[in-house]
Copies of this chain bind each other. A is one copy, B any other.
């Protein structure tokens, strides 16, 4: 009954295109340069049923969007160059869905990027669609829903791409203990439909989603509970903390249902959906922790009790290693850190150590999450001590210090990381981020435009030449900050500033060198400005620099880092600051660029880059991915078949 769709017909074309792109990339360094795929790419095949599940990720049962009956979704493990092929069966009854493969550049397969309204039509309820793309580079990635607020509903999982022997990661020989996967997220008890309704209420009835109830590690948390011996500090930040697990109690519970549904701390069945995560490690080894964050809202900080962390990878790109006691991680980012199990057991840390994940940047109403790093020679399963404290939520200098230390790996044999010089830049887009009112609604806007996505996917509109009817193609989205706009004052005090809804895009010629400057500003509440992690689809970009206040090209451009800027796919713009990035628009397609905070995107905080308009018609776009909106009824796309064959006679 489900309609099986595949894009396998397009695989040959995809691989050919990818090959060509790779050749180009190696001949002339570009932001989409990738590891060479193995000569004969393997296939990673998966079939997913996406459906509602009742689940208790933090010990309270709610409805979630699960995959194959579980949350979080299955971890995809591939090798660089493999073809990943995931058939998605939509069993959500009434909701469409798409899956975005966060960090995959989709060179030659822009229709597989999984962004509703941009790269494809949502997969209808009861229908199926097969994503097929090349895992083009090694690194730590994840996947998630990209339609409405379905990511916040639990539709996500890990995507790990290992290096091939031929294309080894530069830090591969620096760890001998193996890898630990740490997928971070936050969780709300209110469902996303109610959240969306609250965000759209007008004027004073606006209801912000608030802080999450629970931080999850690999999909598990403990609502209103904090594990470990709670110290005065922890009690201070948390009026909710109740009781705590200690010693071996976690194994004493045998009643699964009771485990699943309890909202107080206490014993957890190891098999419970909300059992604390325990990582078992051998002493005297070095491990790679793959850490990714797909939070709805929260900026996080992770530390491991008593252990130093060496950062080696950011968003699938090698960075110059540096040591820290904790790392900041924003929604949409991923890191690999190396950790050596070199701690001697003590009475309070008997070979078991807390991993703490706390909230940063917003006054934390959410308890830190905790997991356990347990040496195989530990005498106890649990540390007897208090979990370490993450930095104060408002210690912005700590955040800056970490962010600014991220640089491209020097002498990187496998990837070229130095960007083309500024003289070669074809286009600069300065993007003013403002929170503002549009028609009585609280919205986020970029240069006065608040993104309202159309019913017809842009990629299909361009492919079929239907730009004029699919969206507002009468002009481009605006390129720069309105003249004289004072970023230190709220939008209401900037005369003549009025944002509007729009679905206009930025059109970038194929191969253009593009600079984007994200410009933060005062929010509607005066003297407030938030951190926004911006994620670009279809590309990595060089992060050229950060600054305070208003970006001044004449002064600031000369100070940009042209020496060792890191490649990323996600970057933050800090409160009242700016961030400059550069990329080569060499990936034909329609690519979202947006704040990765789920409600911010929902409120219009995004933009769409269309690259290679002139090449769009030639793309081998799977027809079934585009049959919605104006495309499905356009005579320019399809004509009624004639003559029709007679209807088959009814079966006897």
Contacts and interface: CB of A to CB of B under 8 A. Distances in A.
Interface residues of A, number: 79
A637 B636 contact: no
Interface in A595-630: 613, 616-617, 623-624, 627-630
Contact of A644 (B3, B465, B641): B465
A473 B471 CA distance: 40
Nearest to A502: B1
A455 B1 CA distance: 6
A197 B53 contact: yes
A63 B455 contact: no
Interface in A56-114: 62-63, 93-97
Contacts of A12: none
B2 A455 contact: yes
Contacts of A467: 647-648
Contact of A94 (B97, B198, B616, B647): B97
Nearest to A126: B455
B126 A453 contact: yes
Nearest to A2: B455
Interface string A167-211: 000000000000000000000000101101110110000010000
Nearest to A5: B633
Given A197-B53, A452-B1, A644 B651 contact: no
Contacts of A147: 93-94
B644 A633 contact: no
Nearest to A503: B1
Contacts of A62: 194
Q: What is the oligomeric copy number? A: 2
Interface string A448-480: 000011111000001011011001111110000
Contact of A191 (B121, B191, B454, B503): B191
Contacts of A282: none
A315 interface: no
Interface in A494-517: 503, 507
Give the most central of A197, A633, A645: most B CB within 10 Å: A197
A640 interface: yes
Contact of A639 (B149, B150, B472, B641): B641
A562 interface: no
A641 B198 CA distance: 44
Contacts of A52: 193-194, 196-197, 200
A638 interface: yes
B633 A624 contact: yes
Interface in A247-264: none
A51 interface: yes
A58 to B, nearest CB: 16
Contacts of A94: 95-97, 116, 122, 147-148, 150
A484 interface: no
A196 B191 CA distance: 14
A149 B462 CA distance: 36
A361 interface: no
A168 to B, nearest CB: 41
A60 to B, nearest CB: 12
Given A3-B629, A62-B194, A617 B647 contact: yes
B127 A54 contact: no
A413 interface: no
Nearest to A623: B633
B647 A465 contact: yes
Contact of A473 (B125, B149, B632, B648): B648
Nearest to A202: B69
A651 B464 CA distance: 17
Contacts of A39: none
Contact of A124 (B196, B473, B617, B629): B629
A644 B627 contact: no
Interface in A399-430: none
A115 interface: no
A640 B641 contact: no
A236 interface: no
Given A93-B149, A623-B640, 14 more contacts: A3-B455, A3-B633, A51-B197, A54-B194, A54-B201, A93-B196, A94-B122, A122-B125, A127-B455, A627-B633, A632-B632, A636-B641, A638-B639, A638-B641
